[in-house]
């Protein structure tokens, strides 16, 4: 007695997740401020540029990315010269390097996504753009000088939220960054004369950016 068994097999495609990688270069503009009760501030403008690597999961409702960005932003802090005159904004410059990890929730595949994630930041001191105003008095204080508030905290942790829209090789992104750590904390250890208020220095950064990315 003999018999023949025939079998057929098919490769199962369901359940397989294909990862699509991408690399992007981007740049744009920023608006920056420090939310604080210690100073009267004016939001300033700046620029931002950076790179991003994406891990796109086509069969998932989200994707992830990580990257670095570098920016230069400005902020105005109100002060006045001696003898006492009318207050004016003293312009400071701040350089920042930020490493971020983002989750992107797909609202319309990868054409429109909501973004959120943590960010680590290293920033420079506040640099007064006009060195001739170093001895201006900061509004709300008797003797606190414009040059006294430069050495702010260099390492900060932020949270970011935003949205990304576009096509596979070109996307636009709007992002809001909120500081979770006290950006002015380092000023508290410098034995500064903060009379008459004598408040502890506390401030959290607020940055809005608009960027365009080209992906490869």
What does the alpha-carbon distance between residue 96 and residue 30 come to, in Å, rounded to a whole number?
Answer: 12
Q: What is the pLDDT of residue 85?
A: 79
* Percent of the chain residues past pLDDT 90, beyond the cut: 82
Signed CA dihedral, 136, 141, 145, 147: sign only = negative
Q: Read off the pLDDT of each residue in 129-156 and give the average, rounded to a whole number.
A: 96
Q: What is the pLDDT of residue 110?
A: 82
* CATH numeric code, 22-215: 2.40.160.20
Please provide the average confidence, as pLDDT, over all residues in the chain. 91
Closest CA to 49 of 97, 119, 114: 97
Residue-wise pLDDT for 58-103, tens only, equals 788 999 999 999 999 999 999 999 877 799 999 999 999 999 999 9
3-class secondary-structure state, position 148: helix
Residue 27: Cβ-neighbour burial (10 angstroms; 0-12, 13-18, 19+):
middle
3-class secondary-structure state, position 147: helix
pTM listed for this prediction = 0.87
CA distances from 189 to 50, 149, 213 (A): 33, 12, 41
Separation of CA 213 from chain center: 16
């Amino acid at each position: 007695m003999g018999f023949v068994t025939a079998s057929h097999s098919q490769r199962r495609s369901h359940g397989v997740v294909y990862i699509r990688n991408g690399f992007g270069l981007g740049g744009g503009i920023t608006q920056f401020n420090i939310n604080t009760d210690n100073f009267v501030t004016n939001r300033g403008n700046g620029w931002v540029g950076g790179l991003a690597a994406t891990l796109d999961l086509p069969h998932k409702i989200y994707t992830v990315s990580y990257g670095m960005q570098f920016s230069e932003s400005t902020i105005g802090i109100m002060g006045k010269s001696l003898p006492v005159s009318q207050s004016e904004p003293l312009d400071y410059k701040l350089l920042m390097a930020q490493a971020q990890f983002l989750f992107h929730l797909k609202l319309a595949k990868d054409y429109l996504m909501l973004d959120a994630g943590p960010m680590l930041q290293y920033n420079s001191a506040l640099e007064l753009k006009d060195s001739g105003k170093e001895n201006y008095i900061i509004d709300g204080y008797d003797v606190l000088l414009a040059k006294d508030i430069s050495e702010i905290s260099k390492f900060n942790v932020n949270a970011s939220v935003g949205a990304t829209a576009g096509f596979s090789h070109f996307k636009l992104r709007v992002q809001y960054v909120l500081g979770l750590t006290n950006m002015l904390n380092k000023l508290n250890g410098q034995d500064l004369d903060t009379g008459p208020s004598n408040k502890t220095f506390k401030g959290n950064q607020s940055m809005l950016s608009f960027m365009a990315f080209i992906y490869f």
